[in-house]
Structure 1
Amino acid sequence: MLNPESSTRPDAPPSVGSAEGACEGRKGNSGEVKVLLTAEEVYPAMERAFLSAKTEISAGYRVFDLSTKLRSDEGRAIGDDWFDLITHVLRKGIALTFVLSDFDPVLAPDLHFASWKSRRAFVFARELAGPKADLTVTNAAHSARVGIAPRLVLWPRLVKEVGQTATRLNEAPASERARFLECSPGLRPLLNTGPDGTLYARKWPVPPLVPGTHHQKICVIDRSMAFIGGLDLDERRYDTKRHERVRDETWQDVQLMCTGPVAADVHSHLEEFLRVVAGQSAPMAEGRLLRTLSRRRKTDWPFLGPKPMVRTISDDHHRLVARARGLIYLETQFLRDRPLCHRLARAARANPALSLIVVLPAAPETVAFDGNTGSDARYGEFLQAKCVAILRGAFGERFTICSPVRPKALDTDGRDTLCGSPIIYVHSKVSIFDCDRAIVSSANLNGRSLNWDTEAGVMLNQTAQVEDLRGRIFSHWLGDDAGDEFYDPATAAALWAERARQNADSAPEQRKGFLVPYDVRPAESFGRRLPGIPEAMV
């Protein structure tokens, strides 16, 4: 069932570089792999997998909203949304274990509320399923906390943030306010209530701050089939491969459906990671899974962030960059990790035959669609502009960086448009090295994902699997008319750059594929350095 219908070009160029090398000590996925592009492919496949479960399902997601509509024929046969599907699966006697990411109630109150709202939906599904329903659902915030010294410096801002949430709740209808507070257990202790019922921020004690999060998006069915990649579950993340939704609803993502030993590794990781992050045990369940894990520092009073424990996603990126011989392809939401970019630059200087293609969204989601001008957004854009400069300086003409846009005209000057068209939001986390190694994970190429947050991914080290992944992604962005030369490591970067330039000069409806040149100038002008703030913060 899981053998992919290969979209690899039958005359694709052979692998570049040896199959041996610096990454031979790391296990790749030796089972079957199916590449899934966008929620149009991922959500129906997940529905069918959940419905096929025999004994158990385990999962860890940043967002898992049970009001998400069902898309498969099999799913719609039992209900309308994932609440109906989870209720149905529980009634069948399947044991469900879910870890839902929880969030800092000061700086991310809406995400904190959404996490506990999802928990309530799971609990209600269990009640409907009957007394024998076997469900364990955990709302898990990261164990790390910002130390007291930085929090004292930030104290006025933190009180202001809580006060802004209180003001918003005071302006909401009473029923909506009560519902928000009921699903915000971390926020309630930070608020006082006046005699007239008005909410306001407590000034003491200093609010806690959670610097990390569980950012993974993984599930495993019967310890034999796993979904691994960048896609959570909700309606915001649903998009098709045609990207016909309005600009703030587009969403490009990649997920792998895997069988084989990696599925058991996912299960082991889900069993242990909360203990590891809590500092209760050492990490053991590495196997074929690549991860980022960190924990709270034993002495955290001067620190902003957690102590890294496992960084195999980062380690393997560095290792595979050093090994690459022809072409590296990176598709990522953020490109902000300067150590990785410096490693790429050293590889470029050491190997004149090495080229690099990067696909990024034209702007971060909160900047493009929400108008975020906060210091965190500016710092992220500052780091990304620096990373682009590092790569351009090292690769020169061998570096191509593109962003996708819809084939439609839109006459605005905001960050949600590029080259006169609405942007397509890229959320994928895919790195391809030559034709025989690739990493698909939940990790962005920023310091947060590679050092602090809980992340999970897999390395593909079988040429057929890598070429299938590369063929699916390349043809998605380029269109069906792209010839073999667009896939050839010796010519791909230059041809991608030329196609992007031609698209920028063409009317939207006459473009070939989705790509236009990424414009770094808005990030350069918008970005701001934050002295003393770790780069892993963003």
Structure 2
Amino acid sequence: MPGQQQSDFQVLITAEQAWPAFEQAVLEAKEEIKASFRIFDFETKLVSAAARNIGETWFDLLEYVIRNGVSFELVLSDFDPVFATELHELSWRSKMQAQNLAETLGPDLAQSLNVRVSMHPAKAGTLPWAALLPAVLRKKTQKKHLIERAQSQREAAGNGSDSLPQLHTVSHHQKIAVIDRQLCYLGGLDLNARRFDTQDHDRLAKNTWSDVQILVRGPEAEEVAQHIDNFENEIATGTAKPKGKYLRRTLSSPRRFGFWRLSPKTIVQEIEDEHINAFKAARDLIHIETQYFRSTQLAEALADAGAKNSNLKVVLVLPALPEEVAFGKHTGLDARYGLDLQAKCLSIIQEGLGDRVSLATPVQPASASGAHDDIEVLSGSPIIHVHNKVLVVDDTFALVGSANLNGRSLRWDTEAALRVTDLERINLLRRTLVDHWWFEDCARYSLEPGQMFEWWKREVQANGLRRPEGRTGFLVPHDPKAGSEIRQPLPGVTEDIV
């Protein structure tokens, strides 16, 4: 099913919609494709009929377009080899895939392929590095016992060295592509098998993945292309180009004198600023969908906006629990601290807005079987993982991108988001989000910002009491107590770390 669209603006929900649109855009490229992804697996299966006429995977698709005269440039994120070994391996596996593609193309055409693995240059300062070094060395030793040395050099390059490990605290988190500097693909969706999900979320709970991408034709594409061209140099030099008209970014750089600091130096926090300004300007309704809400600054800004405007209401869609906790059973200190921060933020929002906020979480419209662990169940149904990163304010403003509402996305990692100010585009975005979460019988309700909240909140609350087959949509009340038994505050530790 194609995404909701205008001729120059498409809203694409889940990979079922986004990937066919992305594949078609790549097929139609005439000169160049520029991209920057956190994860990009060349072995990802193609899903559109047009692309599958060419081959089975993105390796085949890219070989086809390059042979037809199109250049392909990809900046692929790298990760700390010790603390993010699996992601680090994925990056270098993709680099190997690109090298195989270059060999398949031959020396002449291989010049049109440029895939580089980019580690953010920020590192922990000497003091925190020294304090954490014993734990890092223990973890590195454990990792090296699990993988052969040849594999560590091939797929986890940073673990193949015998030198003392560094501590890389920041990564590039954006997921963007630009075709011929005219068409921009941007949002929260990376490219590998884990990210695939359907509109119906009819997979095992651990395989669900709700996400949002937009495909925009126009001047936005040139601005995003310039960002791809420049962001690595801006980070390295600590000097960012001026804010553009459409693109909003998070950029950080290494500190010149960071002996005792774990954090990088934030040089651009446009996405955070855009949220705060939007909250202040909101009139009737703020609609947020996010993987994390862990920024106390944004929570306080939202509560303050509600205190100053008694008409303001908020709908907030969140996952039941972070993916790594719900499905990976991860209960490390970072997970515990993240859960504590989000609970604090939601409490700030609820205290500020009272009954003018609706906290919702999606679940599958089916009863959980005995095969499901309790942690994967809410309101008696398997949960759906939420990876969306969307803000819609009234009918005047929207922001879609890769940034979560946590300090890491707003201050540290490389992030990209697009502003949407056209009334028709905003209405299209809102309608698409509503159509995603609510079944057809809810379409009769008004989507006017001043009227939407009441039925939204009522149906969310009612769904929490209904049997799965009787619900009007995927959304049920968010459980603020989920994970409470493992929450842990860390006084004095920056919230930006998670």
Normalised by the shorter chain, which TM-score bucket?
Answer: over 0.9
Matched, 1:178 2:174: no
1:121-140 paired onto structure 2 within 5 Å: 121-133=97-109, 134-140=112-118
Aligned-residue offset at 1:75: 0.6
Which one of 92, 102, 123 corresponds to residue 116 of structure 1?
A: 92
Following the alignment from structure 2 to structure 1, what is the Cα–Cα distance between the partners of residues 4 and 140?
A: 49
1:138 aligns to what SS in structure 2?
Answer: strand
Any unmatched runs of 5+ in structure 1?
7-30, 191-201
Contact 2:251 2:412 in 1 (8 A): yes
Distance 1:523 1:497, change over 3 A: farther
Distance 1:513 1:76, change over 3 A: same
1:481 aligns to what SS in structure 2?
Answer: helix
Contact 2:238 2:254 in 1 (8 A): no
Counterpart of 2:404 in structure 1 is 444
Letter in 1 for 2:157: P
Contact 1:3 1:32 in 2 (8 A): no
Letter in 2 for 1:490: G
Matched, 1:187 2:165: no
Which one of 167, 171, 186 corresponds to residue 213 of structure 1?
A: 171
Following the alignment from structure 2 to structure 1, what is the Cα–Cα distance between the partners of residues 254 and 53?
A: 45
Letter in 1 for 2:389: K
Matched, 1:379 2:337: yes
Aligned-residue offset at 1:395: 0.5
Following the alignment from structure 1 to structure 2, what is the Cα–Cα distance between the partners of residues 180 and 406?
A: 39
Letter in 1 for 2:133: W
Counterpart of 2:49 in structure 1 is 73
Letter in 2 for 1:297: R
Counterpart of 1:14 in structure 2 is none
Aligned-residue offset at 1:82: 0.5
Counterpart of 1:480 in structure 2 is 440
Aligned-residue offset at 1:497: 2.4
Aligned-residue offset at 1:108: 0.3
Following the alignment from structure 2 to structure 1, what is the Cα–Cα distance between the partners of residues 72 and 451?
A: 48
Letter in 2 for 1:185: A
Matched, 1:362 2:320: yes
1:43 aligns to what SS in structure 2?
Answer: helix
Following the alignment from structure 1 to structure 2, what is the Cα–Cα distance between the partners of residues 45 and 118?
A: 22
Distance 1:509 1:3, change over 3 A: closer
Letter in 2 for 1:157: A
Alignment root-mean-square deviation, CA: 1.7
Give deviations 1:173-219, integer Å, cap 9, x for gaps. Answer: x5xx62343122211124xxxxxxxxxxx7xx4x2111111000000
Give deviations 1:84-111, integer Å, cap 9, x for gaps. Answer: 1111122112111110000000100111
Contact 2:3 2:18 in 1 (8 A): no
Letter in 1 for 2:9: V
2:10 aligns to what SS in structure 1?
Answer: strand
Aligned-residue offset at 1:47: 0.8
Letter in 2 for 1:356: V
Which one of 134, 143, 164 corresponds to residue 156 of structure 1?
A: 134
Aligned-residue offset at 1:332: 0.3
Counterpart of 2:227 in structure 1 is 269
Counterpart of 1:464 in structure 2 is 424
Contact 1:294 1:451 in 2 (8 A): yes
Give deviations 1:425-480, integer Å, cap 9, x for gaps. Answer: 00010000001210001000101001110000101001100000000101211211
Following the alignment from structure 2 to structure 1, what is the Cα–Cα distance between the partners of residues 432 and 99?
A: 39
Contact 1:268 1:285 in 2 (8 A): no
Which one of 100, 104, 124 corresponds to residue 76 of structure 2?
A: 100
1:239-388 paired onto structure 2 within 5 Å: 239-279=197-237, 281-284=239-242, 286-388=244-346
Distance 1:424 1:263, change over 3 A: same
Letter in 2 for 1:39: A
2:400 aligns to what SS in structure 1?
Answer: strand
Q: Normalized against structure 1, the TM-score is what?
A: 0.89
Letter in 1 for 2:124: V
Letter in 1 for 2:490: L
Letter in 1 for 2:50: E
Which one of 122, 125, 128 corresponds to residue 147 of structure 1?
A: 125
2:450 aligns to what SS in structure 1?
Answer: coil
Counterpart of 1:64 in structure 2 is 40
1:366 aligns to what SS in structure 2?
Answer: helix
Contact 1:292 1:452 in 2 (8 A): yes
Contact 2:238 2:252 in 1 (8 A): no
Following the alignment from structure 1 to structure 2, what is the Cα–Cα distance between the partners of residues 287 and 213?
A: 25
1:505 aligns to what SS in structure 2?
Answer: coil
Any unmatched runs of 5+ in structure 2?
none
Contact 1:486 1:496 in 2 (8 A): no
Counterpart of 2:487 in structure 1 is 527
Give deviations 1:24-69, integer Å, cap 9, x for gaps. Answer: xxxxxxx931111110111111111111111111000000001110
1:189 aligns to what SS in structure 2?
Answer: coil
Following the alignment from structure 1 to structure 2, what is the Cα–Cα distance between the partners of residues 409 and 473?
A: 24
Counterpart of 2:348 in structure 1 is 390
Which segment drifts farther, 88-97 or 218-227? Answer: 88-97
Q: Normalized against structure 2, the TM-score is what?
A: 0.96
Higher relative contact order (CA 8 A, sep 6+): 1
Counterpart of 2:454 in structure 1 is 494
Aligned-residue offset at 1:281: 4.5
Letter in 2 for 1:45: A
Q: Give the length in aligned residue pairs.
A: 493
Aligned-residue offset at 1:414: 2.6
Matched, 1:35 2:11: yes
Matched, 1:517 2:493: no
Which one of 10, 16, 26 corresponds to residue 50 of structure 1?
A: 26
Counterpart of 1:25 in structure 2 is none
Aligned-residue offset at 1:495: 2.4
Give deviations 1:104-143, integer Å, cap 9, x for gaps. Answer: 0010011111101101111211221222221111100111
1:415 aligns to what SS in structure 2?
Answer: helix
Letter in 2 for 1:470: R
1:120 aligns to what SS in structure 2?
Answer: helix
Which segment drifts farther, 234-243 or 159-168? Answer: 159-168
Q: Percent identity?
A: 41
Following the alignment from structure 1 to structure 2, what is the Cα–Cα distance between the partners of residues 486 and 111?
A: 43
Following the alignment from structure 2 to structure 1, what is the Cα–Cα distance between the partners of residues 140 and 305?
A: 46
